[in-house]
């Protein structure tokens, strides 16, 4: 049985996550008995083991850079990402309000309601095909603020292999 951190709240179901720091978190409704929670964790031990392995592999492939490395990667992102945005924006007939580079750890990109695009400099640790996918994905949000079929069609129009490119972000 794995050790886990329990968070009780006003929810209806049990959930299980393996965090980036390899900790296990169980979220539970207030009234669920601890033995039921323990059984839930026990029932999911093989899933937990796979997720722990996946997180360890990801950490090995994408180690946290030193401050000096982070500055260099950020500088590269500030030079490359706005050019990619400009290129794909022209192809898609879109005009983003601006581009910001952040240090976000859990999100590679975002598009604000005012069409401002943000990208994490950490995206630069992935293959160029994956970077292009994130740029096109966020640009598509200018036209479609959701992940509807029309949104995916917009992405597919520019990157027909977008599904394979997205998979590269999970490496």
Question: What span, in angstroms and rounded, lies between the C-alpha atoms of 87 and 42?
Answer: 50
Is residue 155 predicted with pLDDT exceeding 80? yes
Q: Give tens-digit pLDDT for 49-61.
A: 999 998 888 888 8
Percent of the chain, pLDDT > 70? 100
The mean pLDDT of 143-157, rounded to a whole number, is 96
Q: What residue ranges do the domains of the chain occupy?
A: 5-61, 67-170
| Helix H or strand E encompassing 100 | strand 98-102
17 contacts 52 by C-beta, under 8 angstroms: no
Is pLDDT at 148 greater than 90 in this prediction? yes
Indicate the SS3 state at residue 76.
helix
Band of pLDDT at residue 153, cut at 50, 70 and 90? very high
Q: How many helices (H) and strands (E) does the chain have?
A: 6, 6
pLDDT (0 to 100) of residue 20: 81
Superfamily classification of domain 67-170: Metalloproteases ("zincins"), catalytic domain (3.30.2010.10)
CA atoms within 13 A on the CB side of 108: 18
C-alpha to C-alpha distance for 44 and 37, rounded to whole angstroms: 11
pTM flag (> 0.85): no
pLDDT surpassing 80 at residue 171: no
Please, which pLDDT band fits residue 94 given cuts at 50, 70 and 90? very high
């Amino acid at each position: 049985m794995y050790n886990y951190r329990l968070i009780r709240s006003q929810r209806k179901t049990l959930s299980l996550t393996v965090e980036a720091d390899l900790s296990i978190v169980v979220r539970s409704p207030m009234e669920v008995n601890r033995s039921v929670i323990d059984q839930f964790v026990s029932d999911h031990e093989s899933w937990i083991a796979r997720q722990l392995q996946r997180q360890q592999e990801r950490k090995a492939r994408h180690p946290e850079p030193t401050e000096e490395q982070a500055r260099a990667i950020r500088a590269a992102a500030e030079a490359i990402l706005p050019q990619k945005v400009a290129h794909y924006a022209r192809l898609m007939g879109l005009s983003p309000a601006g581009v910001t580079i952040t240090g976000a750890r859990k999100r590679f990109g975002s598009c604000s309601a005012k069409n401002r695009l943000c990208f994490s400099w950490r995206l630069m640790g992935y293959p160029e095909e994956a970077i292009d996918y994130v740029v096109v994905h966020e640009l598509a949000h200018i036209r479609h603020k959701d992940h509807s079929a029309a949104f995916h069609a917009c992405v597919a129009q520019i990157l027909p292999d977008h599904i394979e490119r997205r998979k590269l972000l999970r490496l």
